[in-house]
Amino acid sequence: MTNGAESLIQTAVAAGLNVCFANPGTTEMPMVRALDDVPGMRAVLCLFEGVATGAADGYARMAEKPGLTLLHLGPGFANGIAYLHDARRARSPIVNLIGDHATWHLDADPPLNSDIESLARPVSAWIRKSLSGEDMAGDLAEAIALASIKPGNIATLIVPHDCQLEAAGNPAQVRAVAHPPHVGEDAIKRAVETLRSGEPAALFLGAYALRERALRAVARIAAATAPGSCKLMCESFPARWERGVGTPIIERLPYFPEPAIAALSPYKSIVLAGARSPVSFFGYPGVPSYFISPQQTTVTLATADEDVEAALEALADALQAPVYAETNSNLQTPPLPTGKLTPETMSAVVAALLPDNAIVMDESNTSMGPFCVMSQSAHRHSYLTQPGGAIGLGLPCATGAAVACPDRTVINLQADGSGMYTVQALWTQAREQLNVKTIICNNASYRILGIELMRTGVKEFGKQAQSMIGLTSPPIDWTGLSKSLGVPAVRVETAEELARELARALAEAGPQLIEAVL
Amino acid sequence: MTNGAESLIQTAVAAGLNVCFANPGTTEMPMVRALDDVPGMRAVLCLFEGVATGAADGYARMAEKPGLTLLHLGPGFANGIAYLHDARRARSPIVNLIGDHATWHLDADPPLNSDIESLARPVSAWIRKSLSGEDMAGDLAEAIALASIKPGNIATLIVPHDCQLEAAGNPAQVRAVAHPPHVGEDAIKRAVETLRSGEPAALFLGAYALRERALRAVARIAAATAPGSCKLMCESFPARWERGVGTPIIERLPYFPEPAIAALSPYKSIVLAGARSPVSFFGYPGVPSYFISPQQTTVTLATADEDVEAALEALADALQAPVYAETNSNLQTPPLPTGKLTPETMSAVVAALLPDNAIVMDESNTSMGPFCVMSQSAHRHSYLTQPGGAIGLGLPCATGAAVACPDRTVINLQADGSGMYTVQALWTQAREQLNVKTIICNNASYRILGIELMRTGVKEFGKQAQSMIGLTSPPIDWTGLSKSLGVPAVRVETAEELARELARALAEAGPQLIEAVL
């Protein structure tokens, strides 16, 4: 007889979900047993829940199907919230399975009891608690269907321990996943008028507008519009951006509001495709929240929740664009630099050595700003960033991306302060022998905070402010840290060393870490 | 002119809060500036928010005043929730300061925006968002007053960035903190009748009933009652328990329900003093939630929220106990063992070498079960455990306890699987040169989960279940991990080596880690 836990795993496997990022506890033991009793599900153990949720995000972005997590009660789930926040902003499809106490035990308010729903609400589009073993399969199928609606949602299913043990029926089938709605004729028409007006305009891209299919349409649109009348721009922090040789050159919006506003200011109209109207990451006194001024016109071609791929294709057709437009077709990489490690030399080394079809997870923050421009005509790659701003996503997200794409190389450009949040991910990379090459940008500080503090008008940091920003005393030995968690590591201090060690790491199998001292 | 951020720090310092466990971001920059502009507040940087909240808990348990945290928006706060959950169960006083976006910027729903209140509610007795710079000092004073009511509460104050920058008035004074209510005469009378009935009874202690003042009353009560009529017992996971030579010998309730029920079953009545009626950590099929059966009588002398110290003194007086009762007055430590490291030999080494007035943070879980009994007549020590069950509290809690008590030695008995959640705490120990000696019990597994899995009836673990429990492939090199974060470390494999290295570590200043391989 099948129990609730088994029916859950069966339902997930039947829906094509065959990887689960897990940190289970006592209340999830029936599901742990079911992992062996039901074939087809691979459980990837993470030593901290933030690794599990961040990996589910990276997996979902690359696999384009829901990342599944298995988490323990409220506190276990809480440890994963920060990267579910990032996943929500990335619009990644994720299904969380959270074990709960047996229903009959809740009245006793046992030590690990807490209000899981209240914790889950800010990061979940859908929350349900299963009421019986019979219900669980159907509940999960509904969660998967909701999560799978493009670009993706987070669905959280809470499964009490007793329900997991109860008799259950057959696994449930995921009903046809709802397609994102098509945009109306009007939206296409207004976009055409804008791009044909002869006035300077920008096409501002986000979400699925930055993936393969949409970018082919974007190239056609660019070919069908006059120079200056359709500047291609994109969000500061795209969830996934297909880039490199053969893809249109798109300007990434700067992070800070002043340069972002300056970048947008030449354009009379901005056509939004899959992106929200861009806003400042933080509110600074005297600086507006929105980067597009009231004097500019905003035209929404498609929101992230609409079928932006079809909308871009319809726009290209309406512009009578060629069926196929070649774009950015010459491979161009920077020469290998020499000398000190700086944001420029590090970026050049990685852009120059980037293998074809790599996945780049970029949480380098202040350390590798020039990389994006330097790599725009380098080998084709998928580029992942951190749309939600909860730092520490890089190592987990790279982990999940590597699980999703075992045949591709993942390069994680990783700031040191952020990396310390989720260093446990290295262990999972070692255990699963994932093809992740991590470059730790060791500037021994939360450099961004130093910049932010200077923005507040501080000329000289006080002793305590300095101590809140500096990751010195003691310095963190990233090479030692990595080796202790099973990932081979080296330390480099020049561009030549970085090039040599990155080339070696790329040639070797499995995870590798390079500590680059800036 | 004072701004809101400065008025906050001034208010905290005036209330005697002079330590803040911090992981600030951009929205907290005015408070970071205020740390230098306002004298008297020591900011302790933690590289992950779970370290900050766990340290605030350890600090609060030892300092008996609120532990203050400084956290960054919803995602930063979320990373600290698990150990706030533990702190809530420990009834520790904690005040969280969370920066938020500028009020005028929220409409733009910037990337890091989230529903902070929904995240905070499950772990907070009090939540407020300040509405102006003028309000902030008064809001914080209210938070501190509420948090400080014995045994303690968690208060969360959300402070928008613009309010931090606004003009503010004088710091606010914390109004007289409410005293926990006295118990009624009836409660004392029923307890006297129970302990004088001649029937077997137990006095079941928790919260402040396990601290110095209450234990003097407990010793008097034990002296005034007939043998067998007042068995002294306590919660499985006390927040803080003063123990060792000179303190009454108290039996700690076992973790698993069957031995816990067996331990309580000889007693016709159980008198609760500062403890809830004990319940099972998890609900197991066929096992009751509550350990005290309906056939037994429960008498509540005082809840954790009532003045349990005064109640125990009143009970002692009512029993006509001597004014002072000597108890457990002979120092007894186990002989130093030899041979393999086992729970028994490890416990014996630590109990034998325990320095006087140490603080023991015990998150050894399955690895050092016998320690509690072996140390009951060892040197006096404060014993901290994990009442909420969110694993990984040990390293942060030991960190905070050491900040609170710089003149005492903190010994952290730490399970390896749990320790991996919050390994970043070692860096803070190194930076602050805290007197923490960590013993990592390296059994290379989540051993408790193996036990729980066997409880489900599994005879032989499947491959995936085994992989969810084993922390091998790769093994974690705790010695390397510790050194890479700045804490000197050694690895030991025998009881002799452990004794030698613990004696050395105790003699040396600052943090030390011993990886004990079981």
Q: What is the pLDDT of residue B114?
A: 97
pLDDT at A472 exceeding the cut of 90:
no
pLDDT digits (tens, 9 = 90+) for A222-254: 999 999 899 999 999 999 999 999 999 999 999
Q: Which two tokens stand for residue A173?
A: 């089938």
Nearest CA in chain B to A238: B111
Q: What is the pLDDT of residue A461?
A: 85
Q: Using alpha carbons, select from B99, B76, B311, B331 the residue that is nearest to residue B207.
A: B311
pLDDT at A159 exceeding the cut of 90:
yes
Number of CB atoms found within 10 A of residue B177's CB: 16
CB A55 within 8 A of CB A21: yes
Q: Which two tokens stand for residue A414?
A: 């990783």
Q: What is the identity of the amino acid at A209?
A: A
CB B178 within 8 A of CB B151: no
pLDDT at B363 exceeding the cut of 90:
yes
How far apart are alpha carbons A94 and A460 in whole angstroms?
A: 44
pLDDT digits (tens, 9 = 90+) for A281-302: 999 999 999 999 999 999 999 9
Total-model pTM? 0.98
Q: What is the identity of the amino acid at A231?
A: K
How far apart are alpha carbons A142 and A136 in whole angstroms?
A: 10
Number of CB atoms found within 10 A of residue A293's CB: 10
Before A151, cis peptide (omega within 30)?
Answer: yes
Nearest to B119 among A24, A119, A431 (CB): A119
Interface contact B281-A110, CB threshold 8 A: yes
> Which chain B residues are closer than 8 Å to A107 by Cβ?
289
Q: Using alpha carbons, select from A362, A23, A311 the residue that is nearest to residue A190.
A: A311
Interface contact B75-A81, CB threshold 8 A: yes
The residues spanned by each domain of chain A are 4-165, 185-318, 343-517
pLDDT at B485 exceeding the cut of 90:
yes
Question: For residue A366, what is the enclosing H or E element?
Answer: none
**CATH topology of A4-165 equal to that of A185-318?**
yes
CB B487 within 8 A of CB B425: no
Interface contact A82-B79, CB threshold 8 A: yes
How far are the Cα atoms of B8, B24, B205, B253, B372 from residue B375, in angstroms, in the given order?
Answer: 43, 40, 18, 16, 5
Nearest CA in chain A to B424: A420
Give the angle A66-B470-B86 at the CA atoms, nearest 5°.
Answer: 75
- Nearest chain B CA: its distance from A324 CA (Å): 35
Bridge partner residues of A414 (DSSP) = A363, A440
Show the DSSP H helices in A106-252 as ranges. Answer: 116-120, 133-148, 161-165, 185-195, 212-224
Interface contact A389-B75, CB threshold 8 A: yes
Q: What is the pLDDT of residue A457?
A: 81
Q: Using alpha carbons, select from A391, A47, A81, A70 the residue that is nearest to residue B419.
A: A47
Superfamily (CATH) of domain A185-318:
TPP-binding domain (3.40.50.1220)
Q: Using alpha carbons, select from A131, A15, A117 the residue that is nearest to residue A65.
A: A15
CB B354 within 8 A of CB B378: yes
Share of residues in chain A with pLDDT > 90 (%): 92
Give the angle A402-A408-A409 at the CA atoms, nearest 5°.
Answer: 75
Give the angle B125-B127-B130 at the CA atoms, nearest 5°.
Answer: 155
- What rounded mean pLDDT belongs to chain A? 96
Number of CB atoms found within 10 A of residue B430's CB: 21
Q: Which two tokens stand for residue A92?
A: 């990644």
- Nearest chain B CA: its distance from A284 CA (Å): 8
Question: For residue A158, what is the enclosing H or E element?
Answer: strand A154-160
Q: Using alpha carbons, select from A436, A404, A414 the residue that is nearest to residue A57.
A: A404
Nearest CA in chain A to B84: A75
Superfamily (CATH) of domain A343-517:
Thiamin diphosphate (ThDP)-binding fold, Pyr/PP domains (3.40.50.970)
pLDDT digits (tens, 9 = 90+) for A445-464: 888 888 888 888 888 888 88
Sequence length of chain B is 518
Tell me the average pLDDT across A487-504. Answer: 98
- Sequence-distant (≥ 6) Cβ neighbours of residue A467 within 8 angstroms: B43, B45
Number of CB atoms found within 10 A of residue B393's CB: 34
Q: Which residue has the tokens 């774009």?
A: A327
How far apart are alpha carbons A405 and B328 in whole angstroms?
A: 64
How far apart are alpha carbons A515 and A491 in whole angstroms?
A: 5
Q: What is the pLDDT of residue A288?
A: 97
Nearest to B484 among A45, A456, A481 (CB): A481
- Sequence-distant (≥ 6) Cβ neighbours of residue B256 within 8 angstroms: none
pLDDT digits (tens, 9 = 90+) for A185-227: 999 999 999 999 999 999 999 999 999 999 999 999 999 999 9
> Which chain A residues are closer than 8 Å to B90 by Cβ?
none
CB A107 within 8 A of CB A138: no
pLDDT digits (tens, 9 = 90+) for B240-297: 999 999 999 999 999 999 999 999 999 999 999 999 999 999 999 999 999 999 999 9
Number of CB atoms found within 10 A of residue A266's CB: 12
Sheet with A436-442: list strands edge to edge: A241-243, A381-384, A358-363, A410-415, A436-442, A512-517, A489-492
How far are the Cα atoms of A203, A204, A236, A257, A282 from residue A290, in angstroms, in the given order?
Answer: 17, 14, 14, 9, 11
CB A58 within 8 A of CB A401: yes
* C-alpha B260 chain-centroid distance: 21
Phi-psi region of A416 (alpha: psi -120 to 50; beta: other; left: phi over 0): alpha
Share of residues in chain B with pLDDT > 90 (%): 92
Nearest CA in chain A to B429: A474
Q: Which pLDDT band holds residue B470 (cuts at 50, 70, 90)?
A: confident
Question: Does the domain formed by B4-165 have CATH 3.40.50.970?
Answer: yes
Annotate A381-414 with b (16+ C-beta within 10 A) or e (fewer).
bbbbbbbbbbbbbbbbbbbbbbbbbeebbbbbbb
Q: Which residue has the tokens 């005036």?
A: B14
User: Helices B343-353 and B495-507 meet at what angle, rounded to 10?
Assistant: 30
Nearest to A480 among B388, B465, B480 (CB): B480
> Which chain A residues are closer than 8 Å to B47 by Cβ?
417, 420-421, 471
Q: Which pLDDT band holds residue A108 (cuts at 50, 70, 90)?
A: very high
pLDDT at B176 exceeding the cut of 90:
no
How far apart are alpha carbons A304 and A445 in whole angstroms?
A: 35
> Which chain B residues are closer than 8 Å to A423 by Cβ?
423-424
Nearest to A474 among B22, B42, B431 (CB): B431
- The ipTM value here is 0.97
Q: What is the identity of the amino acid at B323?
A: V
Give the angle B123-B124-B126 at the CA atoms, nearest 5°.
Answer: 170
How far are the Cα atoms of A1, A42, A489, B395 from residue A170, in angstroms, in the given order?
Answer: 10, 21, 48, 45
How far apart are alpha carbons B250 and A309 in whole angstroms?
A: 69
